[in-house]
Structure 1
Amino acid sequence: MESNMVFLDVDQKNMSGKIPTSLGVLSSLEILKLNNNNFGGEIRDALQNCSNLRSIYLGDNKLSGKMPLWIGRSNVPMLSVLRLRSNYFSGHISQQLCNLDGLHILDLSNNSISGAILSKKEKAKIYIHNYGGYAYNSFEHSDNIFEHAKLTLKGEELVYNTTLYLVKIIDLSSNNLQGEIPEEISNLIFLGTLNLSMNQLSGKIPSKVGNLHWLKTLDLSYNHLLG
């Protein structure tokens, strides 16, 4: 592989085995799309060497283990898209995600993630801060590469390309999350989609959710919520 590679896309190539550690030498890599394959094992720590990563697509594989702590540290400071849906990840949501100022698509749905959405010490640092993302005019990366992604919104699969940067999503559905929905989630004023369905959440729905004026889709079904 060329070390100056910017875009690696092997979506739906029926690939298996573990994610190659050799990807760690791709220091210029910005978009990594390994989704819809049969990759197994854990996410390799070697990927933290790809410090220019803006988008990680590892959904619909057979990956397992806990979310690496390096995601959210200074290793990948420009990360804006993180899609790990439909795997076998366990453990708690990495609180390091709170450090990603530009993250605007977070999809951890359909895994086995447990625990609270936010730990007590992180409630003052609600996910993705202002959730505004970087001020891209388009989702253009180096070498004039345009990113596109298929996203499921309101039960319908849609393809986004030049407008992908406008999409603001948190999808934590179909996991084993427990506890209350943190009131601090109302600070994500630009959030467009919030899906917390099919978990073990309890307590009352925060009244300040009404402050999310850009919210188009809210799904809290199949939990143990009151009020």
Structure 2
Amino acid sequence: MGVCDTQKKYVIGLLASGLDLSGLIPESTIGKLIKLQSLDLSNNKITGFLSDFWSLGRSFKTLNLSYNQIFGSLPSNIGYFGGWESLDLSFNSFSGLIPTSFSSLSGLQVLKLNGNGFGGSIPGGILKCQNLVSISITYNQITRTVPDGFSIAFPKLKNLDISGNAIQGRSLDISGMKSITYLNISMNLFEGSVMGVFEAPLEVIDLSRNQFHGYISQVNANSSFNWSHLVYLDLSENQLSGESFHDLNDAHNLKHLNLAHNRFSQ
């Protein structure tokens, strides 16, 4: 399904999701749509980037290639699309490193790379994407630590999900993420105190299956955290100790709580 501009002269949007498309899109097709702004080819069997994809104009803003069979590395010239607002490449078979050229995507608001085989680390270039509202890089093979400055780079960020990797670090400071409400860093290798997480108006906190340790009383002493916002809290399968939270009585909206497999005294 195509969407044209107001003068019916150019195609600005193309939706071809779930049409059983396979292989590579033929040349001289998508690339001819020089005014295209939005392209959705999700839920197909596409195996590679379009050969003429890079001839699309700079007005291009939204790409959804999720749930396909695209493999290999993500091309570095992806940074050409500086006006991109949304990029969804989730549930493909991408491998290699996430390109440093992400630093050129300063207008990016939504980034979804879930369910691929990306390795290495989260590139420092992503810190230039300060308009990001949602970051999802779950179930890849990302290692090492998050880039220096990660905690203060995204003032508009609401959703951060980097679960299911092997990311390391001494906790995760989110004090600069003033808008964040959803945080999932489960199934990684984070360690140290959880204190830095309880610094924002979070509704969802999932820190499960990491290596966090220390006394939970440190959080109890943090009077600035607003427990009334909290809907979901999972700290299971860590090494936290001491007495459990004293302030849970203030979590009036809490619907899910899992503190199992820690070392709490009560």
Identify the TM-score tier after normalising by the shorter chain: 0.7 to 0.9
| Compared CA separation, residues 171 and 46, structure 1 to 2 (3 A) | same
Give, as a single letter, the amino acid of the residue that structure 2 aligns with 1:200: Q
Give the distance between the partners of 1:207 and 1:50, measured in 2 at CA. 38
- Asked if residue 85 in structure 1 is aligned to residue 163 in structure 2, the reply is yes
- Asked if residue 179 in structure 1 is aligned to residue 214 in structure 2, the reply is yes
Give the distance between the partners of 2:182 and 2:121, measured in 1 at CA. 21
* Aligned residue in 2 for 1:113: 190
Q: Percent identity?
A: 32
* Aligned residue in 2 for 1:53: 132
Unaligned runs of 5+ in 2: 1-79
Question: What displacement does 1:3 show?
Answer: 1.1
- Asked if residue 127 in structure 1 is aligned to residue 199 in structure 2, the reply is yes
> Residue 29 of structure 1 is aligned with which of 87, 97, 108?
108
Give the distance between the partners of 1:213 and 1:3, measured in 2 at CA. 43
Give the distance between the partners of 1:198 and 1:61, measured in 2 at CA. 21
SS in structure 1 at match of 2:119: strand
Question: RCO greater where, 1 or 2, for CA within 8 Å and sep 6 or more?
Answer: 1
Unaligned runs of 5+ in 1: 132-167
- Asked if residue 70 in structure 1 is aligned to residue 109 in structure 2, the reply is no
- Asked if residue 193 in structure 1 is aligned to residue 232 in structure 2, the reply is yes
Give the distance between the partners of 1:27 and 1:64, measured in 2 at CA. 24
Give, as a single letter, the amino acid of the residue that structure 1 aligns with 2:233: L
> Residue 18 of structure 1 is aligned with which of 97, 100, 107?
97
Give the distance between the partners of 1:104 and 1:175, measured in 2 at CA. 20
Q: Deviations over 1:90-126 (max 9, x none)?
A: 121232x0221110110000011111111xxx6xx94
Give, as a single letter, the amino acid of the residue that structure 2 aligns with 1:107: N
The answer as to whether partners of 2:211 and 2:238 remain within 8 angstroms in 1 is: yes
Give the distance between the partners of 1:82 and 1:62, measured in 2 at CA. 17
* Aligned residue in 2 for 1:152: none
The answer as to whether partners of 2:227 and 2:250 remain within 8 angstroms in 1 is: no
SS in structure 2 at match of 1:52: coil
Root mean square deviation, CA, Å: 1.6
With the length of structure 2 as denominator, give the TM-score of the two structures. 0.66
* Aligned residue in 1 for 2:27: none
Give, as a single letter, the amino acid of the residue that structure 2 aligns with 1:171: D
Give the distance between the partners of 2:176 and 2:166, measured in 1 at CA. 24
Give the distance between the partners of 1:107 and 1:69, measured in 2 at CA. 19
Give, as a single letter, the amino acid of the residue that structure 2 aligns with 1:92: R
* Aligned residue in 2 for 1:204: 243
Question: What displacement does 1:69 show?
Answer: 2.9
Give the distance between the partners of 2:148 and 2:227, measured in 1 at CA. 23
Give the distance between the partners of 1:70 and 1:200, measured in 2 at CA. 27
Question: What displacement does 1:48 show?
Answer: 0.9
Give, as a single letter, the amino acid of the residue that structure 1 aligns with 2:212: L
Give, as a single letter, the amino acid of the residue that structure 1 aligns with 2:123: R
With the length of structure 1 as denominator, give the TM-score of the two structures. 0.77
* Aligned residue in 2 for 1:148: none
Give the distance between the partners of 1:103 and 1:49, measured in 2 at CA. 18
Give the distance between the partners of 2:198 and 2:204, measured in 1 at CA. 14
Give the distance between the partners of 1:101 and 1:26, measured in 2 at CA. 22
The answer as to whether partners of 2:86 and 2:110 remain within 8 angstroms in 1 is: yes
* Aligned residue in 2 for 1:169: 204
Give the distance between the partners of 1:32 and 1:90, measured in 2 at CA. 21
